[in-house]
Amino acid sequence: MFAEIVIFVVMLVAFVLCAMWFKLPIGISLILASVGGALVAGKGIPLRHLIEGTFTYLDPILIIATAMIFMEVLRLSGALGSISRVIIVRLYKHPFWLILFITIFIMFPGMITGLSTATVLTTGALVAPALIMLGIPKLTVAAMIAMSAIYGMIAPPINVPAMIIGGGVDMPYIGFELPLIFATFPLAIGVNLSLGYRFLRSVNISEIIPKLEKDYFQEFGWRLYSPLFLVVILMLGVRLFPGFFPNLGVPLIFLVGAVVGVFTGKKLNFWKASHSPIKEAMPVIGILLGIGMFIQIMTMTGVRGLLVVGSLSMPSFWRYLSIAVMMPLFGAVSAYGSASVLGVPFLLAFLGQNEIIVGSALSLIAGLGDLMPPTALAGIFAAQVVGEENYFKVLRLTLLPALATALWGIGMILFANLLGKIL
């Protein structure tokens, strides 16, 4: 047992030094920490295990890459801008419905990419100027966007932390839709209403319209949104009508939607449109490759078993407290790393509970890592979108929503079996 503790400490210290001290990319830091753990364990440099680890999360990597391309095509074709314009112009006199639909719209990129940054930099950037013009302070707008990005990353259909946790215990990513909707949508709508509703005021919409994205729907009609409809139909069809719809797989569905999007709106070059999102996704892909290696070496050296035994032997109160505190803090480096290193043993510690509900709740709490400094990806990019240099001012406004989110996740774990029967 002592040997496993030493190996784990060496891996964590090596990772922190590489990421924080030497400022190496998170993915590279994870790879070096994996090699360090193997060397301390006396295994040398086990190339087979390292290479095998890189393929652990191949499915999420393909989903992220293709979903990012699809989102970029929707943005360049004018579809996203047209949707945001319709929501604001039609609902500016109805604050409740405006915030409700704006929240769902902001969450959308995260729902299909599994990335909070994709949400902030696409739909978040589109609606931020309009929300500020409608009377909401820019720091509050940034907080709304950051929290919506977190919830979008966790909402179905694509939740990478849940996939990682499920993969660690050989649990397929099936049946998560309703639990993840319960975990995210009530929080997202409630948080944004509490943050922004009181600031909305009556405005002269004619002053705002010129500053919004052009309405390309008038030019292209419903075909502008046909890629989105196609992707939804292909995703739902194979589940609702198995045998009638071909099971193309999520990555291929996104690629088909992206190719169709080239011909439905503004003219764009598919190859150029593919380059930028893949470049943006590379750091996350590197993290997933590194996490795969990290988990593989932890398994090979017995560290993973040590964490599972430790989680199982921990008293209930401290187990819940560790989930609420340690998972977001570890997620400051990577929410995906938190899901793999801590989420998997915590799920195993609750095997008597409904595993899908527990996995959904753990992924929700792990997602809070994107608000934690020093990385704080959601907070930093949300601050940049509204023109705020000090992102700590934004994070201050997200403290109470983050606390409410952690408590919501803990509540889901406590009542996992009851929720499992209902959902």
Cα distances (Å, whole numbers) of residue 79 to 114, 158, 206, 255: 20, 21, 22, 17
Give bridge partners of residue 242 from the DSSP assignment: 245
Partners of 245 in beta bridges: 242
**Residue closest to 156 by CA, chosen among 170, 176, 132, 126:** 176
Report the domain count for the chain. 1
pLDDT beyond 70 at 374: no
> Which residues, 6+ apart, have CB-to-CB distance to 114 below 8 Å?
60, 63, 64, 67, 153, 158, 159, 160, 163
With 0-12 / 13-18 / 19 or more C-beta atoms within 10 angstroms meaning exposed / middle / buried, residue 220 is middle
pLDDT digits (tens, 9 = 90+) for 166-211: 887 888 888 899 999 999 999 999 999 999 998 887 666 777 777 7
pLDDT at 344 over 90: no
pLDDT at 379: 86
The percentage of residues in the chain with a pLDDT greater than 70, rounded to a whole number, is: 98
Before 374, cis peptide (omega within 30)?
yes
CA dist., res. 233 & res. 239, Å (int): 10
Flag whether pLDDT at 213 surpasses 80.
Answer: no
Q: What is the pLDDT of residue 111?
A: 92
Q: How far apart are CA 250 and CA 154, in angstroms?
A: 17
Q: What does the buried/exposed string (b/e) look like for 141-177 if buried means 16 or more CB atoms within 10 Å of the residue's CB?
A: bbbbbbbbbbbbbbbbbbbbbbbbbbbbeebebebbb
**pTM as predicted:** 0.84
pLDDT for the residue 333: 66
Cα separation, 264 vs 223, in Å, equals: 6
At 95-143, the pLDDT tens digits run 899 999 999 999 998 898 888 888 888 888 888 888 888 889 999 999 9
> Phi and psi at residue 215, in whole multiples of 5°?
-85, 95
The closest of 232, 228, 255 to 245, measured between CA atoms, is: 232
Mean of all residue pLDDT scores within the chain: 87
Choose from 67-81, 207-221, 370-384 the range with maximum mean pLDDT: 67-81
Query: What are the structure tokens assigned to 419, written together?
Result: 């929720």
Contact 351/97 with Cβ under 8 angstroms? Answer: no
Q: How far is CA 371 from the centre of its chain?
A: 12
Measured CA to CA, the distance from residue 178 to residue 183 in angstroms comes to 9
C-alpha gyration radius of the chain: 22
Give residue 291's pLDDT. 82
Q: What residue numbers bound the domain in which 114 lies?
A: 2-422
